[in-house]
Amino acid sequence: MRTAPEYIDSLRQRNLRLFVDGELVRDPVSHPKVRPAINAVAATYELAHDPAYRELATAHSALSNIRVNRFCHLFEEPQDLIRKVELQRVLGRLTGTCFQRCVGMDGLNALFIATWEAGKDAHTRFVQWLRGVQHRDEVICGAMTDAKGDRRKRPAAQPDQFLRIVERRDGGVVLRGAKLHQTGAANSHQILVMPGMAMRPGEEEFVVAAAMPVDAPGITMVLGRQPSDGRKGGVDAGNAKYGGQEVVVLFDDVFVPGSRVFLDGELAPAATLVEAFAGYHRASYGGCKPGNLDVLIGASRLLARLHGVEQASHIRDKLVEMAHLTETVHGVGLAASARSHQHKAGPWQVDQILANVCKHNVTRIPYEIVRLAEDLAGGLVATMPSLADLQHPEFGEQLRRAVGGEERAKLLRLVEWMSYGAGAVPLRIECMHGAGSPQAQRIVLERNIDWETRVQHARRLAGLDNS
């Protein structure tokens, strides 16, 4: 398994076409807007070599018969699903942000199942590719979300809004289109494109699952902006080391050889893929988000201490509320993973209802916790001057007497970063829309809940069936 320095070095070997603020970035690894997100991915490699976390962060792969980083692993036994969520909480705490590697992991598992349903050839191609990923310990960018355009129109009516096969040649396919909100794409080794929604007969050209290097000819990446991203790498960064990343990936006639095309027009397996991925990833949020929230709770408690109000009953009550809500999210993520079942293909799958309840809670609960953190932080979270001002030779001392010292400033910056700075991208907006917007979970819940059994219980207790 790769070490963190080996991972970072491997990123330098790529010939990535990445644009940030309109400029082509020659060296993403040292770019101040990219490096914090690379550091967060690197933490997944560090943990795999940390004796305290090795058991959690790695697993023996029966598929390859080697020890692998958990982010390249299949959920081969029920416990793997639970360990995943526990590992995500540890990494969420360690980085305070999104460490980007879970979309690939959840995608690998979903595609293992989908290709098994698609047939022997597709599955063999996929397994062969996956073994290579495990051996090389790669970061896989799981690319699902299409632009989608006008939601009233199907893909055929607006083909540019969906990644699609535009040509078949030389034993492969040519892809054109875009994928949006690509978590950690610029920090990855390969892109695994997958359909983002179930398609209908006649829409086969939009059903493609395939893998390609991130620097394949025709791929252009454009980094998404984040609030306060101009402060990254500076003294007022908020999170001193880590950050998240979302990228728009443009595919301009990218050739993919047939050996790396795993789904090509198979409608039913593609629908399985979308559902399986959604379940896995909605439970994943029950790991990383509670880890991030732990950091916000810690910062809030420390600020309360600095303000001399840690023992005030209403402050303690708010901190308890923050912890209670955080454990609620984590508890459902664990429950979805514990109430698992095995797919005939081999991997274990989460409980769909609980996974969707988990993610649906995530569209609400972090917002309430951020509200409490802002309450506890006080107004200075929005008005604190820069550290450069606090250290100013002329007025710094007087300023520090007025607004507090560096410790308070840095904690307030962290709360600011997580509440409405760059860290709010994974902690708030991604909580809303990542792994599907809230309505997507309600649709799955409505479809999966056994309403009639509930009706029968009510009838029985109301005495309606005895008359």
What residues are labeled active site?
98, 102, 183, 246, 281, 285, 288, 430
434 touching Fe ion, by CB under 5 A: yes
Residue 112's binding partner, choosing from Fe ion, ligand SF4, none, with beta-carbon cut-off 5 to 8 A by kind? none
Residue 328 beta carbon to Fe ion: minimum distance, rounded to whole angstroms: 20
Q: Which is nearer to Fe ion, 333 or 434 (CB)?
A: 434
Residue 129's binding partner, choosing from Fe ion, ligand SF4, none, with beta-carbon cut-off 5 to 8 A by kind? none
Residue 435 beta carbon to Fe ion: minimum distance, rounded to whole angstroms: 6
Q: Which is nearer to ligand SF4, 39 or 161 (CB)?
A: 39
Residue 186 beta carbon to ligand SF4: minimum distance, rounded to whole angstroms: 14
Q: Which is nearer to ligand SF4, 102 or 263 (CB)?
A: 102
The site for ligand SF4 (CB under 6 A) is made up of 98-100, 102-103, 183, 284-285, 288, 426, 430, 434
Number of residues that bind Fe ion (CB under 5 A): 1
Residue 195's binding partner, choosing from ligand SF4, Fe ion, none, with beta-carbon cut-off 5 to 8 A by kind? none
Q: Which is nearer to ligand SF4, 109 or 161 (CB)?
A: 109
Residue 45's binding partner, choosing from Fe ion, ligand SF4, none, with beta-carbon cut-off 5 to 8 A by kind? none
Residue 70 beta carbon to ligand SF4: minimum distance, rounded to whole angstroms: 12
- What's the rounded Cα separation, in Å, for the pair 395 and 375? 29
Q: Which is nearer to ligand SF4, 161 or 187 (CB)?
A: 187
| Residues lying near Fe ion in the complex (CB under 5 A) | 434
